[in-house]
Structure 1
Amino acid sequence: MTSTGTLTGRTVAVIGSGYMCGGIAQVLALAGARVRIADAGAEVTTSNRERLIAEATRFAADGLFPAHAPDTIAERVTAAPSFADAVDGADFVEEAVPEKLDVKHDVLRRVSAAAAPDAVIGSNTSTILIGRIAEAVERPERFLGVHFSNPAPFIPGVEVIAHAGTDEGILPGVEDIVRATGKHPARISDADGFVLNRLQYALFSEASQLVDEGVASAEDVDTIVRTTFGFRLPFFGPFAIADMAGLDVYKFCFESLQGRWPERFATPRALAEHVDAGRLGTKSGGGFLDVPAERVPELVAYRNTAYVRMQQLLDELGPPPIQQEETP
């Protein structure tokens, strides 16, 4: 995990101190911020601060955090006695309390009343619409979703979600905070499931149906996902993968699936429009993403190297504890 360290000298508050909140506090502190955490009670907050320092010690011993991480986190993360104390003087607040609307409303009502009027407030929610949560926030124009993924110290993607009333002028600053922790922000509209969970649960739903239909076991579905298209996903998103495969091929496959599931696998409108216009992906010089023809060999070489390196990494790590060793 690397960061740019551009949060040095800034004070931020993390509301909540559980596992998710602690991970967020860790990466903010390692990026240079002074971090105040606060939970429902001072005793809980203090206990959880000790836990996240102990976690950092284990992570550093395993080479997952830099060697200085435990000392740095112990120095920069403090346990505030109350929400009001945590947000006092903070220019950015990240709320990460349990995923229940009434709980978030209660906490954010108190937090937004105590925070400075110009303090930006983010919510780490994975499913609740930001506009619904904003109903309890004073000055909701300074409020947005900032959705880290679990485990927060090690997953690099962060959804940055503005609701209809968010002042868009705060977005670049929030994205800078995210980047300072070594992570990658993506701007997302306020829609059910956002992007991460809408895609994640669509995959899980289809995987579950395959098991229910007796097409494959859960173990074999997992094997196919992680050793085929899942193998590509650390390097390329679905649009880049489609462009490299050929959008005409994708359209043909959708039409084949429609023989059994005409509605479930209806051809996406954007895909049909690209194919009808002759934009077939990298082989035609344009698709969802424009890759100049002269860069295609470079892209192919990168792809092949990436996949070989991924397999080498997996060989080095060995199978995860949920899998049995494969016998020759």
Structure 2
Amino acid sequence: MSHWARNAVIVANERAGSAFSVPVADVAEACQRLVGEVGVVRTAYPGHARTLAAKAVRDGVDAVVAVGGDGTVGEVAGGIVAAGETVAARSGLVGPALFCVPAGTGNSFYKEVWHDRPWREALAAAFTGARPRLRRLDLARVAQTRDIVLLGACSGLVAEALETAAGLSRISGRARYQQAVAETLRDFAPHPARVVVDGEVVHDGSVILAAVGGGRYRGGGFLLLPHSVLDDALLDVCVVTGDLDPLELPGLTREGRHLERPEVLYRRGRRVEIERTDGAPLTFEWDGEVKCGRTRYTLDILPAVLPVLAPAAESV
């Protein structure tokens, strides 16, 4: 049986939401059967995964395996893209392929690419064969911070629920985020915001959330952007206005039925701006990491910049 990868680096965040359920040693052992040479590096602080992934790119590895949640995978993707742009400019070579082992709270990115396939089975499928099976995915960039966004970003309910999830250490995986949404809804209030897509104001008023992506799922099981495609060079935007009862939203988003409601707007574009209009800081997140302190965030599309290992049917 042939294996295309000569070497790979595992970037592990052992502080992710459910990382204890996927021991790094098990991932390394599985990789060693599929890859010629395997290295393991562990994150020590927020943002470290990006630095470690960028070093792996400069070292010329064939693949980077991220072990952690969506935040960790987003950092790794950012490191691959940023360092890959430099390497490509110098040598014309494309950066290493990304694979992620789901070991976080929502694991939405893994679900996007591999659905609910067990990670060991997906890993074997990704690394077995004479050539890699790749999808070149779009990313977004936050204009204000220059951060890379892998899966998507969201204001309001989703961001506040992520803050709640940080305190639910006794619950792991998708159940942790689902419980966090339920708890957040107890005292949740919409906020005033303006949403602009490619220069057009699509909503100016009360907002429960404004989601931008990227991926279809958030929190592993909430289908916020059901029409989103990871490689169509567009950002999907869903605005849930304050006219909807927030308590209805979790049930509606299980199967994307929120789009049937007149209180919900859906658009696509290449640049999206979300601004809180009462002067208070906007609670905002991307790839599962909550950001505060700004009233406005702008996201721009970065088409086809990230090579990701994917099932054979989705190869390009």
TM-score, with structure 2 as normaliser: 0.33
Larger strand fraction of residues: 2
Higher relative contact order (CA 8 A, sep 6+): 2
Larger helix fraction of residues: 1
In our comparison, the structure showing a higher alpha carbon Rg is 1
